[in-house]
A and B are shown apart, each in its own frame.
Chain A
């Protein structure tokens, strides 16, 4: 079963994504800030990361670079309330960019797509 790491500083959103992903059949783990997220990537080897951008402390863009430095085959989805980060080229190395919505369909579709692709590669 694929392990998904959710990095978001909003506890309610972490809970929402956890609920939705588990219902879809994934194993989840959550981190409330970027530093903790990086630690989990290193120690718990998730199959995919869902990363918020605007967080207290290290932001998602920096976290993205660090994750890719560690493992550039790890799929990362940037999930943010700010659609304007899409213009920032530093976000372009992420595998997907999703604007947060109460309808999680897009997120779930993207997660599945990326994991399927990863499976084919490996």
Chain B
């Protein structure tokens, strides 16, 4: 045992320190005479310092037996600890005794007896148990919030469930407000809690059947399915504070990073408004603070039970709010990340498609150049072959057996020339020489040009032109070609004759032109493929017709659509743009 050799001053200081100590403490010498007592001991024994110091311990307690085993020789060097009932005056007090041996500078043995009030200790234990239980709860909350992969709304719900559940923080009502960056406000998001005593009783009865484990409750309890919480959610939706209102109680609470306990006595900017919203005078506001800043506040009250919000409640509300803030932030970031990943995937997909389109276009372009050379080279010999076949045909008499052969050569060369014509048109770079003119004029021109062809095919042409003098900005030759190709297609869709209707109608941005037939309509696989080069269902023609049309309309900033009409037949439509205002009309 260490021998104490304090200076007089230190010894005096220690004496005074002990004397002032609130914990009951007595120092006794070898003869069990009280040498020194603490303030707490005076209180416990109900005597003054003068009454106690210098007297035998035996005179203070009914019997020294209670100290049995704490003797100067029996007490272990590390001290001993025991519970005993101390009979003081007329009452018995349960105490916990801590006994320790020591010697003074001269080597005299002393005992230091510390007596803890067991009742006081029990309260402290209860507090400790409550703390441990709440810490366990926080742990559960944390597991639920982070472990269960909840979506943001689920996290928000879970936070409120944990705040109000019996197994949780036990507040009557809880409100969650988040910062809305877009409107620069602190806005009510979601709330939970009954609107009246009756509703509260009903909910609490219902809850008896609910899962008792908070984790299970938070992850399985669906607030949206409950008809309760309507009133509180109406309240929360009206909660809205401008972030610029720096001195508003909620904004201050949000930035303070400390939980705020508001009682009826308090006053401050915005406080009355919040009291009015909530309908209570007392409530607690906890900031939702993350490392990146404040994201909102939690408001809790005991509006139904009227119970006081205790220090412990506030302490845990603070801890809980910190955890919730991080969970909300993490959920938000996860969602944002998921969104970004999706965007990235889409962008990648688009890039891939663009690349493929580019490759296809490049292939088409190379193919086009090659085709152009070949087509031109073929044209001259074809002109000679076909030309002479016609000469032959003319020179042969009607009954000459060779006449039929010359006829075939003429027709086949004609077919080849049409293919070459279509092909060269398709690959020729479109030079835009646009003009402003009424589209109805182009349609009428086509009707005039195709008059004989239509008559020959026994197809009637109906014109329903409503554009009148309204002008469009277009390349007339190209639009003529589109109309001609569409009309030819429509004729061929009706080999036994029929009707074609070309109509025009003024829309806001341009003029809608439609070419409709009464043929069998477009088959599904045809509808998908018909705009790709070289696709054809016709026995004559190269299949480039529609592709050229698509290209021309696209060059005019529009889209060529093909669809089947409900009354039967196919209908192709496109919109020609109105002229741009003066000065913008360029190539």
Residues of A within 8 A of B (CB): 10, 12-13, 16, 19-20, 54, 81-84, 87, 99-104
B382 touches A102 (CB 8 A): yes
How far, in whole Å, are A84 and B389 apart by their CA atoms in the complex? 27
Q: Which of B258-266, B409-417, B553-561 contacts A (4 or more CB under 8 A)?
A: B409-417
B383 touches A81 (CB 8 A): yes
Looking at A10, A20, A81, the one whose CB has the most chain B CB atoms below 10 A away is A81
- A16 interface neighbour in B387, B414, B428, Cβ under 8 Å: B387
Chain B residue with Cβ nearest A79: B383
A103 touches B384 (CB 8 A): no
Chain B residue with Cβ nearest A9: B380
- B417 interface neighbour in A10, A54, A102, Cβ under 8 Å: A102
How far, in whole Å, are A19 and B382 apart by their CA atoms in the complex? 17
**A19 → chain B, closest Cβ, in Å?**
6
A82 touches B383 (CB 8 A): no
Instruction: Given A16-B388, A20-B387, A87-B431, answer yes or no on A100-B379 (Cβ-Cβ < 8 Å).
Output: yes
- A101 interface neighbour in B389, B417, B428, B431, Cβ under 8 Å: B417
B391 touches A16 (CB 8 A): yes
Chain B interface SS verdict (over half): helix
A84 touches B428 (CB 8 A): yes
Instruction: Given A13-B383, A81-B383, A87-B431, answer yes or no on A102-B389 (Cβ-Cβ < 8 Å).
Output: yes
How many residues of chain B get a CB closer than 8 Å to chain A's CBs?
23
Per CB-CB distance, the 7 closest pairs between chain A and chain B, nearest first, are A102-B386, A12-B384, A81-B379, A16-B387, A102-B387, A100-B383, A102-B383
How far, in whole Å, are A100 and B376 apart by their CA atoms in the complex? 10
- B376 interface neighbour in A10, A81, A104, Cβ under 8 Å: A81
Instruction: Given A83-B428, A84-B424, answer yes or no on A104-B387 (Cβ-Cβ < 8 Å).
Output: yes
- A100 interface neighbour in B380, B385, B388, B431, Cβ under 8 Å: B380
Chain B residue with Cβ nearest A10: B380
How far, in whole Å, are A118 and B388 apart by their CA atoms in the complex? 30
Interface CB pairs A-B, < 8 A, 16: A12-B381, A12-B388, A13-B384, A16-B383, A16-B387, A19-B391, A20-B387, A81-B376, A82-B376, A100-B383, A101-B417, A102-B383, A102-B414, A103-B387, A103-B390, A103-B414
Could you say which residues of chain B place their CB within 8 Å of the CB of A81?
Answer: 376, 379-380, 383
B391 touches A20 (CB 8 A): yes
Instruction: Given A16-B388, A20-B387, A83-B424, answer yes or no on A102-B413 (Cβ-Cβ < 8 Å).
Output: yes
Known: A16-B383, A81-B379, A101-B386. 13 other contacts (CB 8 A): A16-B384, A54-B376, A82-B376, A83-B421, A83-B428, A84-B428, A100-B379, A101-B417, A102-B384, A102-B386, A102-B390, A103-B386, A103-B414
- B410 interface neighbour in A10, A54, A87, A102, Cβ under 8 Å: A102
Chain B residue with Cβ nearest A87: B431
Looking at A10, A54, A83, A102, the one whose CB has the most chain B CB atoms below 10 A away is A102
**A95 → chain B, closest Cβ, in Å?**
20
Chain A residue with Cβ nearest B418: A101
How far, in whole Å, are A20 and B382 apart by their CA atoms in the complex? 16
B391 touches A102 (CB 8 A): no
Q: How many A-B residue pairs have CB under 8 A?
A: 56
A13 touches B391 (CB 8 A): no
How far, in whole Å, are A20 and B390 apart by their CA atoms in the complex? 10
Could you say which residues of chain A place their CB within 8 Å of the CB of B421?
Answer: 83, 99
Chain A residue with Cβ nearest B409: A102
Could you say which residues of chain B place their CB within 8 Å of the CB of A13?
Answer: 380, 383-384, 387
**B380 → chain A, closest Cβ, in Å?**
5
How far, in whole Å, are A16 and B394 apart by their CA atoms in the complex? 13
Q: For chain B residues 369-399, which have a beta carbon within 8 Å of chain A?
A: 376, 379-391
How far, in whole Å, are A20 and B389 apart by their CA atoms in the complex? 12
Could you say which residues of chain A place their CB within 8 Å of the CB of B389?
Answer: 102
Q: For chain B residues 394-449, which have a beta carbon within 8 Å of chain A?
A: 410, 413-414, 417, 421, 424-425, 428, 431
Chain A residue with Cβ nearest B394: A23
How far, in whole Å, are A12 and B376 apart by their CA atoms in the complex? 16
How far, in whole Å, are A87 and B376 apart by their CA atoms in the complex? 16
How far, in whole Å, are A84 and B431 apart by their CA atoms in the complex? 10
How far, in whole Å, are A84 and B428 apart by their CA atoms in the complex? 7
How far, in whole Å, are A87 and B432 apart by their CA atoms in the complex? 11
Could you say which residues of chain B place their CB within 8 Å of the CB of A10?
Answer: 380, 384
How far, in whole Å, are A82 and B380 apart by their CA atoms in the complex? 10
How far, in whole Å, are A12 and B379 apart by their CA atoms in the complex? 13
Could you say which residues of chain B place their CB within 8 Å of the CB of A19?
Answer: 388, 391
How far, in whole Å, are A99 and B428 apart by their CA atoms in the complex? 14
Could you say which residues of chain B place their CB within 8 Å of the CB of A12?
Answer: 381, 384, 388
**A51 → chain B, closest Cβ, in Å?**
15
How far, in whole Å, are A103 and B424 apart by their CA atoms in the complex? 18
How far, in whole Å, are A104 and B389 apart by their CA atoms in the complex? 12
How far, in whole Å, are A13 and B382 apart by their CA atoms in the complex? 10
Chain A residue with Cβ nearest B420: A81
**B407 → chain A, closest Cβ, in Å?**
13
**A70 → chain B, closest Cβ, in Å?**
28
How far, in whole Å, are A19 and B391 apart by their CA atoms in the complex? 8
Chain B residue with Cβ nearest A8: B380
Could you say which residues of chain B place their CB within 8 Å of the CB of A100?
Answer: 379-380, 383
How far, in whole Å, are A63 and B376 apart by their CA atoms in the complex? 21
Could you say which residues of chain B place their CB within 8 Å of the CB of A101?
Answer: 383, 386, 417
Q: For chain B residues 5-55, which have a beta carbon within 8 Å of chain A?
A: none
How far, in whole Å, are A13 and B381 apart by their CA atoms in the complex? 8
How far, in whole Å, are A100 and B15 apart by their CA atoms in the complex? 128
**B434 → chain A, closest Cβ, in Å?**
15
Looking at B376, B385, B389, B431, the one whose CB has the most chain A CB atoms below 10 A away is B376
Could you say which residues of chain A place their CB within 8 Å of the CB of B381?
Answer: 12
How far, in whole Å, are A116 and B389 apart by their CA atoms in the complex? 29
Chain B residue with Cβ nearest A99: B421
